[in-house]
């Protein structure tokens, strides 16, 4: 087991050290109802990107403090540990619920970037003045709240592996909040997108993560995805996440889970839709049948993947791994999900095959009106001139990084020498043409035969595929790199 693990890590090293490979991930774009992973070669079309991910908040939201000098993305040892575990799992995206915008996240975001992992960031926190109060949105939508939101944007806007921001999570969760909150949430999205347009060097998608209240599902979706008065506007969500726990391992199937209704609701979606949380834990250990039979089965033509809840064991008992004093043990749920992701096969869909017709106006059955509140006093100035945040993130060199923490497989076998070595010239825009293979094991692994071109991709390779510029590396090396990541 240890030798397999070392070969996997050395293959990561080799993939990073190959000529022309030392290039940061390409930012995800949106084309109609699909996420698109652009090609490094501008002459080639991009490919549809499916989220195979997990919700990632070690320590839980309760472990966050705005006065602390640490958060979930500040411990590079933990990020190396988790990048390794996430790669082995077959993950290409993580969602992070709470971060501190005053803390530097360069090392962790660079580690995840090098590992081929995209990140979706929630801009809110559980603390006062750091989220909309669903019971009193008018007073909580204020200058201080939006200033913090903009600082979060500044802290992450320059990371190419930032997939997008969530403007809110389950703010609307009953009939009462459905009457009060929708216009304020769209106002927050409007302000965020205007800030990004004025203060970032690329378009960054902004979306909403909805509670799966069946009676409100369609109304919520229509409200966030439609254009006011039929005109394209910047308050509309760029993507829509649904927190769904309808399919429970061992007892549910397509017919009984409600997935058929989800498919009907979103079949004509005009923006990307995915599960921002899923993975019912009514029966344990979870077998995650909903991954292969649901999300990447019957829903594959409707959804853009999903994020399993959740990475680490917290109070709610959903963890794929257990973290104690920094050391990590993979649970049975981890092994079961790993098998599901390994067996998922998704057809490669070219960007040119995606319908990008003009977004149609949709009728919303919400009682809430579409008269959005104006930006709070002073916020327009922040949007125009920025928040003068000195903590602007960037990709940095990560070389020879190891973790001080231990990792143990679910069968009790300990993984030794856990490290991810990264080419020190790894950067957003610079190609390295001088690096060479530094591992004979990785070199020998690259001799695997790859004589045919496939039209499908196994999920375990998706996490690392962003390292490989199209058409610039032999098929044999490409397959070897993908096989072990």
- How does pLDDT run across 388-402, given as a tens digit for each residue? 999 999 999 887 677
- 8 A C-beta contact, residue 460 and residue 342: yes
pLDDT for 472: 33
User: For the chain, what is the mean pLDDT?
Assistant: 82
Q: What percentage of the chain exceeds 70 in pLDDT?
A: 78
Torsion of CA 361, 348, 420, 338, to 10 degrees: 90
For residue 108, pLDDT over 60 is answered with yes
Residue in 29, 170, 222, 414 annotated catalytic? 170
Distance CA 47, CA 352 (A): 9
The mean per-residue pLDDT over the stretch 187-212 comes to 98
pLDDT for 321: 98
The mean per-residue pLDDT over the stretch 343-349 comes to 86
pLDDT digits (tens, 9 = 90+) for 257-301: 999 999 999 999 999 999 999 999 999 999 999 999 999 999 999
The mean per-residue pLDDT over the stretch 123-136 comes to 93
pLDDT for 39: 85
pLDDT digits (tens, 9 = 90+) for 208-250: 999 999 999 999 999 999 988 777 789 999 999 999 999 999 8
Residue 235's contacts (CB-CB under 8 Å, 6 or more residues apart) are 186, 187, 189, 190, 193, 228, 372
pLDDT for 35: 98
pLDDT higher at 154 or 446: 154
pLDDT for 461: 35
Nearest C-alpha neighbor of 33 from the set 372, 266, 262, 377: 266
pLDDT for 357: 55
Q: What percentage of the chain exceeds 90 in pLDDT?
A: 65
pLDDT for 400: 63
pLDDT for 68: 82
pLDDT higher at 469 or 242: 242
pLDDT for 368: 60
pLDDT higher at 475 or 323: 323
pLDDT higher at 395 or 454: 395
pLDDT higher at 447 or 367: 367
pLDDT for 355: 73
Q: CA distances (Å), 120 to each of 15, 87, 138, 456, in order?
A: 25, 17, 26, 25
pLDDT digits (tens, 9 = 90+) for 33-76: 999 999 887 777 899 999 999 999 998 876 777 778 889 999 99
Distance CA 476, CA 481 (A): 9
The mean per-residue pLDDT over the stretch 137-150 comes to 97
Angle value at C-alpha 298, between 296 and 303, nearest 5 degrees: 60
Sketch the domain layout of the chain as residue ranges.
27-385
Query: pLDDT class for 425, splitting at 50, 70, 90?
Result: very low
pLDDT for 447: 34
- 8 A C-beta contact, residue 270 and residue 58: no
pLDDT digits (tens, 9 = 90+) for 373-388: 999 999 999 999 999 9
Distance CA 26, CA 29 (A): 9
* Active site (annotated) includes residue 462: no
pLDDT for 367: 60
pLDDT for 353: 82
For residue 417, pLDDT over 90 is answered with no
For residue 29, pLDDT over 90 is answered with yes
Distance CA 302, CA 223 (A): 19
pLDDT for 463: 36
* Active site (annotated) includes residue 147: no
Q: CA distances (Å), 166 to each of 128, 353, 457, in order?
A: 18, 27, 28
Residue 127's contacts (CB-CB under 8 Å, 6 or more residues apart) are 64, 66
Query: pLDDT class for 91, splitting at 50, 70, 90?
Result: very high
pLDDT digits (tens, 9 = 90+) for 326-341: 999 999 999 999 999 9
For residue 100, pLDDT over 80 is answered with yes
The mean per-residue pLDDT over the stretch 400-415 comes to 89
For the domain 27-385, what is the CATH code? 3.20.20.80
- 8 A C-beta contact, residue 292 and residue 328: no
pLDDT for 370: 83
Instruction: Classify burial at 417, counting beta carbons within 10 Å of its beta carbon; exposed 0-12, middle 13-18, buried 19 or more.
Output: exposed
Residue in 277, 293, 313, 314 annotated catalytic? 277
């Amino acid at each position: 087991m240890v030798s397999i693990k070392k070969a996997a890590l050395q293959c990561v090293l080799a993939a990073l050290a190959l000529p022309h490979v030392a290039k940061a991930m390409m930012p995800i774009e949106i084309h109609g109802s699909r996420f698109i992973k652009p090609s490094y070669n501008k002459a080639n079309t991009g490919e549809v990107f499916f989220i195979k991910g997990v919700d990632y908040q070690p320590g839980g939201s309760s472990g966050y403090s705005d006065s602390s000098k640490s958060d979930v993305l500040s411990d590079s040892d933990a990020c190396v540990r988790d990048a390794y575990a996430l790669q082995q799992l077959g993950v290409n995206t993580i969602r992070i619920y709470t971060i501190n915008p005053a803390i530097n996240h360069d090392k962790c975001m660079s580690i995840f970037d090098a590992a081929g992992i995209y990140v979706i960031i929630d801009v809110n926190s559980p603390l006062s003045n750091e989220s909309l109060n669903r019971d009193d949105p008018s007073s909580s939508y204020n200058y201080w709240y939006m200033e913090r939101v903009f600082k979060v944007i500044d802290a992450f806007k320059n990371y190419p592996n930032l997939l997008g921001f969530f403007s809110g999570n389950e703010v609307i969760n009953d009939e009462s909040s459905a009457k009060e909150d929708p216009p304020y949430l769209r106002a927050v999205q409007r302000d965020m997108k205007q800030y990004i347009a004025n203060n970032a060097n690329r378009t960054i998608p902004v979306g909403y993560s909805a509670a799966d209240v069946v009676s409100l599902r369609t109304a919520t979706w229509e409200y966030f995805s439609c254009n006011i008065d039929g005109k394209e506007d910047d308050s509309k969500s760029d993507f829509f996440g649904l927190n769904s726990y309808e399919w429970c391992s061992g007892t549910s199937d397509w017919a009984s889970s409600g997935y058929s209704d989800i498919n009907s609701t979103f079949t004509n979606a005009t923006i990307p839709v995915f599960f921002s949380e899923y993975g019912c834990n009514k029966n344990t250990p979870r077998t995650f049948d909903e991954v292969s039979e649901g999300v990447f089965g019957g829903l594959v033509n409707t959804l853009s993947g999903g994020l399993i809840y959740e990475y680490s064991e917290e109070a709610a008992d959903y963890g794929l791994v257990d973290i104690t004093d920094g050391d990590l043990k993979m649970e049975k749920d981890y092994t079961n999900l790993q098998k599901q992701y390994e067996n998922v096969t998704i057809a490669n869909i070219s960007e040119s095959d995606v319908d990008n017709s003009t977004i149609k106006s949709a009728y919303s059955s919400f009682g809430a009106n579409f008269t959005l509140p104006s930006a709070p006093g002073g916020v327009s100035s922040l949007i125009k001139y920025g928040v003068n945040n000195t903590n602007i993130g960037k990709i940095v060199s990560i070389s020879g990084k190891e973790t001080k923490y231990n990792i143990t497989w679910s069968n009790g076998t300990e993984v030794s020498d856990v490290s991810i070595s990264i080419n020190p010239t790894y950067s957003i825009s610079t190609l390295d043409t001088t690096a060479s293979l530094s591992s004979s094991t990785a070199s020998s692994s690259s001799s695997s035969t790859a004589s045919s071109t496939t039209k499908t991709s196994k999920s375990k390779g998706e996490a690392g595929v962003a390292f490989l510029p199209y058409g610039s590396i032999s098929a044999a090396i490409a397959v070897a790199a993908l096989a072990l990541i």
